[in-house]
């Protein structure tokens, strides 16, 4: 599935570079002016694909660092949720959550992502009775996926 992310980077004409980002205290960043994603060298596979998907979201939306904290926070939240939607399939999530009794760290490991991506995915879910909606918004029919989940 990581190959899909590299294909998307190619479609977006994004250059991916690997370097030592330890002085910045982060695993990746996106520069809109150069259309470049920098990723920290030596990350685990789970972290690599999670960070790459997150940074691709910034590229897709043309995010730039703002001097306003709430703007940055909104961009970070959107990037995590966008990454989660591309990295987590609902059926895989359902099985992992059931097997690991909702333990986010174990669910993340089973889904080959980091826990923050699982938390982001969970934020996009809305359960109403026996129906689960993914990315629900106000208004009839405004969701990306609808699933019956039943209790028994």
pLDDT digits (tens, 9 = 90+) for 7-24: 999 999 999 999 999 888
Q: What is the CATH number of the domain that holds 51?
A: 3.30.2010
Contact 134, 124 (CB under 8 A): yes
116 within some domain = yes
114 within some domain = yes
* Mean per-residue pLDDT over the chain, rounded: 88
136 within some domain = no
Tally Cβ neighbours within 10 Å of residue 145: 13
Q: Is the pLDDT of residue 135 over 80?
A: no
CA distance 55 to 45: 15
More confident residue, 62 or 135: 62
Q: For the stretch 1-36, what's the b/e string if a residue is b when 16 or more beta carbons lie within 10 angstroms of its beta carbon? A: eeeebeebbeeeebebeeeebeeeeebbbbbeeeee
Q: Is the pLDDT of residue 129 over 70?
A: no
Q: How confident is the model at residue 138 (pLDDT cuts 50, 70, 90)?
A: low
Tally of domains in the chain: 1
CA distance 80 to 22: 21
Q: Is 102 helix (H, G, I), strand (E, B) or coil?
A: coil
pLDDT tens column, 53-81? 999 999 999 999 888 999 999 999 999 99
135 within some domain = no
150 within some domain = no
This prediction has a pTM of 0.83
CA distance 140 to 133: 12
Residues 6+ away with beta carbon under 8 Å from 66: 72, 75
Query: In which domain, by residue range, is 86 found?
Result: 2-128
92 within some domain = yes
Best CA proximity match to 145, nearest among 79, 56, 61, 85:
85
């Amino acid at each position: 599935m990581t190959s899909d992310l590299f294909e998307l980077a190619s479609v977006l004409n994004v250059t991916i570079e690997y370097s030592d980002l330890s002085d910045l205290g982060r695993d990746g960043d996106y520069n809109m002016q150069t259309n470049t994603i920098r990723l920290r060298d030596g990350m685990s596979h789970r972290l690599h694909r999670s960070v790459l998907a997150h940074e691709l979201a910034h590229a897709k939306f043309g995010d730039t660092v703002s001097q306003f904290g709430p703007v940055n926070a909104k961009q970070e939240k959107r990037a995590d949720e966008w990454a989660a939607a591309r990295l987590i399939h609902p059926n895989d999530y359902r099985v992992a959550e059931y097997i690991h009794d909702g333990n986010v760290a174990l669910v993340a490991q089973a889904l080959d992502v980091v826990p923050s991506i699982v938390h982001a995915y969970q934020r996009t879910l809305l359960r109403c009775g026996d129906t689960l909606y993914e990315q629900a918004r106000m208004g009839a029919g405004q969701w990306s996926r609808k699933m019956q989940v039943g209790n028994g």
